Amino acid sequence: MKLIAFCAFLLTSLAIPLPGQSAADLAQRFKRHDVYEVEPGIALSAKFTNAGLVCEMSVEQSHFNGDAIDFTDGIEEAKAKATLDRIVPASERGDKLGNGFITVKGHVMQQVDEYENVTVLRASNIVLEKKNEIQTGETVLQVRWKNRTCN
């Protein structure tokens, strides 16, 4: 996987750049998403409603940090929990509804937690699985607001 990503990076860096690309040119060709740096190495991409309110956020590892390229796919679980509290505090999420549910497919574990105002999805890779224990590695987050429709 890392080799494929590296080859794709090399091919795109060797490609002839299009002359005069502007923000308007990109907006005509691609759907726009805003990306924010929560902290060094953690990127948050957001979608918005017509009224300008955030309706969906995805949090993952930033791959380009200064002069370095990081091919990891997610962030540590502990950091993911702290980031969730930072970007959507418990007061904004509302009360938790039930215990959520977990599914495991192959080497990926998904945890979905429902709150009054949002749904939080955590996807993590499984690094160790024993009888009654699963240890996860890198995690990505997605937060969706229940009462807001994205453009």
Q: Which of 89, 86, 143 is nearest to 112 (CA)?
A: 143
The tens digit of pLDDT for each residue in 30-54 reads 887 788 999 888 899 999 999 999 9
Question: What's the whole-number mean pLDDT along residues 4-26?
Answer: 64
Instruction: Please report the pLDDT score of residue 69 as a whole number.
Output: 75
- In this prediction, residue 13 has a pLDDT band, given cuts at 50, 70 and 90, of low
The tens digit of pLDDT for each residue in 58-68 reads 999 887 767 77
Element (H, E) at 87: helix 77-87
Chain-centroid distance, C-alpha 2: 19
Instruction: Please report the pLDDT score of residue 4 as a whole number.
Output: 61
Question: What's the whole-number mean pLDDT along residues 16-43?
Answer: 80
pTM of structure: 0.74
Task: Please identify which residue in the block is written with the tokens 């979905």.
Answer: 112
